[in-house]
Amino acid sequence: MEYAENIPSSDNTAKKKRAVANYPLFTFICSLIVAFALMLAVRTLALSIHGVKGDGLAPLYQNGDRLLINRCSYGLRIEGNGILPYSRLMRQPVQKGDIVAFNAPKGFPEGICIARCKAVPGDTIRVEEGALIVPGLKTCAKTDYYWLEAINQQNPLDSRYMGFIPEHDIIGRVVTVLYNRNNSSLP
Protein backbone atom coordinates (compact mmCIF):
# COMPACT_ATOMS: atom_id res chain seq x y z
CA MET A 1 0.00 0.00 0.00
CA GLU A 2 1.29 3.38 -0.90
CA TYR A 3 0.91 6.43 1.26
CA ALA A 4 0.49 9.85 -0.32
CA GLU A 5 2.55 12.45 1.39
CA ASN A 6 1.23 15.96 1.57
CA ILE A 7 4.20 17.57 -0.09
CA PRO A 8 3.46 20.67 -2.13
CA SER A 9 4.38 20.49 -5.72
CA SER A 10 6.90 22.92 -7.18
CA ASP A 11 4.05 24.92 -8.77
CA ASN A 12 2.35 25.44 -5.40
CA THR A 13 5.65 26.49 -3.82
CA ALA A 14 6.25 29.10 -6.50
CA LYS A 15 2.72 30.48 -6.07
CA LYS A 16 3.17 30.77 -2.31
CA LYS A 17 6.51 32.54 -2.76
CA ARG A 18 4.89 35.05 -5.15
CA ALA A 19 1.98 35.60 -2.76
CA VAL A 20 4.38 36.25 0.11
CA ALA A 21 6.49 38.53 -2.07
CA ASN A 22 3.38 40.55 -3.06
CA TYR A 23 2.07 40.82 0.51
CA PRO A 24 4.21 43.88 1.44
CA LEU A 25 3.10 45.60 -1.77
CA PHE A 26 -0.54 44.79 -1.00
CA THR A 27 -0.13 46.10 2.57
CA PHE A 28 1.52 49.27 1.29
CA ILE A 29 -1.27 49.92 -1.24
CA CYS A 30 -3.98 49.28 1.38
CA SER A 31 -2.20 51.63 3.81
CA LEU A 32 -2.10 54.35 1.14
CA ILE A 33 -5.80 53.94 0.40
CA VAL A 34 -6.72 54.13 4.10
CA ALA A 35 -4.45 57.17 4.64
CA PHE A 36 -5.98 58.92 1.62
CA ALA A 37 -9.53 58.20 2.85
CA LEU A 38 -8.69 59.52 6.33
CA MET A 39 -7.10 62.63 4.85
CA LEU A 40 -10.24 63.31 2.78
CA ALA A 41 -12.46 62.81 5.82
CA VAL A 42 -10.40 65.22 7.95
CA ARG A 43 -10.24 67.79 5.14
CA THR A 44 -13.97 67.54 4.45
CA LEU A 45 -15.25 67.39 8.02
CA ALA A 46 -12.64 68.98 10.29
CA LEU A 47 -10.05 71.21 8.64
CA SER A 48 -9.55 73.04 5.38
CA ILE A 49 -7.04 75.47 3.92
CA HIS A 50 -7.95 78.77 2.28
CA GLY A 51 -5.56 80.96 0.31
CA VAL A 52 -5.63 84.75 0.70
CA LYS A 53 -5.68 86.64 -2.60
CA GLY A 54 -4.96 90.35 -2.54
CA ASP A 55 -4.75 92.76 0.38
CA GLY A 56 -8.40 92.69 1.45
CA LEU A 57 -7.51 91.07 4.79
CA ALA A 58 -4.43 93.21 5.54
CA PRO A 59 -2.84 93.92 7.97
CA LEU A 60 -3.80 90.68 9.77
CA TYR A 61 -3.44 88.39 6.73
CA GLN A 62 -1.24 89.06 3.69
CA ASN A 63 -1.47 88.11 0.02
CA GLY A 64 -0.37 84.47 -0.36
CA ASP A 65 -1.10 83.39 3.24
CA ARG A 66 -2.63 79.93 3.61
CA LEU A 67 -5.15 79.94 6.46
CA LEU A 68 -6.17 76.87 8.45
CA ILE A 69 -9.93 76.78 9.01
CA ASN A 70 -11.45 74.65 11.76
CA ARG A 71 -14.70 73.43 10.21
CA CYS A 72 -15.87 71.89 13.52
CA SER A 73 -15.39 75.00 15.66
CA TYR A 74 -19.13 75.79 15.60
CA GLY A 75 -20.28 72.17 15.34
CA LEU A 76 -20.14 69.57 12.60
CA ARG A 77 -22.06 71.10 9.70
CA ILE A 78 -24.63 69.05 7.79
CA GLU A 79 -25.24 70.90 4.52
CA GLY A 80 -28.89 69.98 4.11
CA ASN A 81 -28.69 69.55 0.33
CA GLY A 82 -30.13 66.06 0.26
CA ILE A 83 -32.20 63.93 2.58
CA LEU A 84 -31.22 65.63 5.86
CA PRO A 85 -32.06 69.27 6.60
CA TYR A 86 -29.31 71.76 7.50
CA SER A 87 -28.06 71.33 11.07
CA ARG A 88 -24.94 71.40 13.23
CA LEU A 89 -24.02 68.55 15.53
CA MET A 90 -22.50 69.64 18.86
CA ARG A 91 -23.35 73.28 18.02
CA GLN A 92 -21.19 76.02 19.50
CA PRO A 93 -22.09 79.70 19.10
CA VAL A 94 -20.01 82.11 17.05
CA GLN A 95 -18.43 84.60 19.46
CA LYS A 96 -17.94 88.32 18.88
CA GLY A 97 -14.39 88.88 17.68
CA ASP A 98 -14.05 85.44 16.04
CA ILE A 99 -12.52 85.51 12.58
CA VAL A 100 -14.74 83.26 10.50
CA ALA A 101 -14.78 81.81 7.02
CA PHE A 102 -18.13 81.83 5.26
CA ASN A 103 -19.63 81.14 1.86
CA ALA A 104 -20.77 84.25 0.03
CA PRO A 105 -24.59 84.39 0.10
CA LYS A 106 -26.61 83.75 -3.05
CA GLY A 107 -26.55 86.66 -5.43
CA PHE A 108 -22.86 87.43 -4.82
CA PRO A 109 -19.75 86.01 -6.49
CA GLU A 110 -19.15 82.47 -5.26
CA GLY A 111 -16.25 81.88 -2.96
CA ILE A 112 -15.07 81.81 0.61
CA CYS A 113 -14.89 85.11 2.48
CA ILE A 114 -13.08 85.88 5.74
CA ALA A 115 -14.43 88.43 8.24
CA ARG A 116 -14.59 89.24 11.96
CA CYS A 117 -17.86 88.71 13.85
CA LYS A 118 -19.12 92.06 15.16
CA ALA A 119 -22.70 91.17 16.15
CA VAL A 120 -24.41 87.89 17.06
CA PRO A 121 -28.09 86.85 17.13
CA GLY A 122 -30.03 89.11 19.47
CA ASP A 123 -27.74 92.13 19.01
CA THR A 124 -29.12 95.34 17.60
CA ILE A 125 -26.83 97.37 15.37
CA ARG A 126 -26.76 100.66 13.54
CA VAL A 127 -24.57 101.36 10.53
CA GLU A 128 -23.58 104.91 9.68
CA GLU A 129 -21.39 105.55 6.64
CA GLY A 130 -20.00 102.03 6.73
CA ALA A 131 -19.18 102.06 10.46
CA LEU A 132 -20.84 99.70 12.92
CA ILE A 133 -22.36 101.22 16.04
CA VAL A 134 -23.88 98.94 18.71
CA PRO A 135 -26.68 99.23 19.83
CA GLY A 136 -28.79 100.73 17.11
CA LEU A 137 -31.52 100.20 14.60
CA LYS A 138 -31.02 96.89 12.75
CA THR A 139 -31.41 93.57 14.49
CA CYS A 140 -29.52 90.32 13.87
CA ALA A 141 -32.84 88.56 14.53
CA LYS A 142 -33.44 86.17 17.37
CA THR A 143 -31.39 83.38 15.82
CA ASP A 144 -29.26 82.42 12.89
CA TYR A 145 -27.89 85.77 11.59
CA TYR A 146 -24.48 87.40 12.14
CA TRP A 147 -22.94 90.75 11.24
CA LEU A 148 -19.47 90.04 9.86
CA GLU A 149 -17.09 92.87 9.00
CA ALA A 150 -13.93 92.69 6.97
CA ILE A 151 -10.61 93.02 8.77
CA ASN A 152 -9.58 95.69 6.27
CA GLN A 153 -12.30 98.35 6.16
CA GLN A 154 -11.58 98.93 2.44
CA ASN A 155 -12.67 95.33 1.66
CA PRO A 156 -16.39 95.35 0.72
CA LEU A 157 -16.91 91.58 1.09
CA ASP A 158 -18.70 91.69 4.41
CA SER A 159 -22.09 92.47 5.96
CA ARG A 160 -21.87 96.15 5.01
CA TYR A 161 -22.18 94.97 1.39
CA MET A 162 -23.87 91.54 1.69
CA GLY A 163 -26.15 92.15 4.67
CA PHE A 164 -26.58 89.72 7.53
CA ILE A 165 -24.85 86.36 7.09
CA PRO A 166 -26.96 83.32 8.02
CA GLU A 167 -25.42 80.61 10.18
CA HIS A 168 -25.73 77.99 7.45
CA ASP A 169 -23.22 79.99 5.33
CA ILE A 170 -20.59 80.00 8.09
CA ILE A 171 -17.93 77.36 7.43
CA GLY A 172 -15.77 77.68 10.53
CA ARG A 173 -13.24 79.68 12.50
CA VAL A 174 -9.83 80.71 11.13
CA VAL A 175 -7.22 79.11 13.39
CA THR A 176 -3.86 80.28 12.09
CA VAL A 177 -1.67 81.08 9.11
CA LEU A 178 0.00 77.86 7.95
CA TYR A 179 2.46 79.42 5.52
CA ASN A 180 2.84 82.10 2.87
CA ARG A 181 3.36 81.11 -0.79
CA ASN A 182 4.07 84.65 -1.96
CA ASN A 183 7.70 85.15 -0.91
CA SER A 184 7.88 88.55 -2.61
CA SER A 185 5.66 90.06 0.10
CA LEU A 186 8.06 89.04 2.88
CA PRO A 187 10.62 91.63 4.10
Query: What architecture does CATH give domain 49-182?
Result: Ribbon (2.10)
C-beta of residue 88 within 8 angstroms of C-beta of residue 170: no
For 105, residues 6+ apart whose C-beta sits below 8 A from its C-beta are 162, 163, 165, 166, 169
For the entire predicted model, the pTM comes to 0.70
Which residue ranges make up each domain of the chain? 11-45, 49-182
103/55 Cα distance (integer angstroms): 19
Task: Tell me the per-residue pLDDT of 28-54, one tens digit each, with 9 for 90 and over.
Answer: 888 999 999 888 877 777 888 888 887
Task: Tell me the per-residue pLDDT of 102-149, one tens digit each, with 9 for 90 and over.
Answer: 998 888 888 888 999 988 888 877 777 656 656 555 666 666 889 998
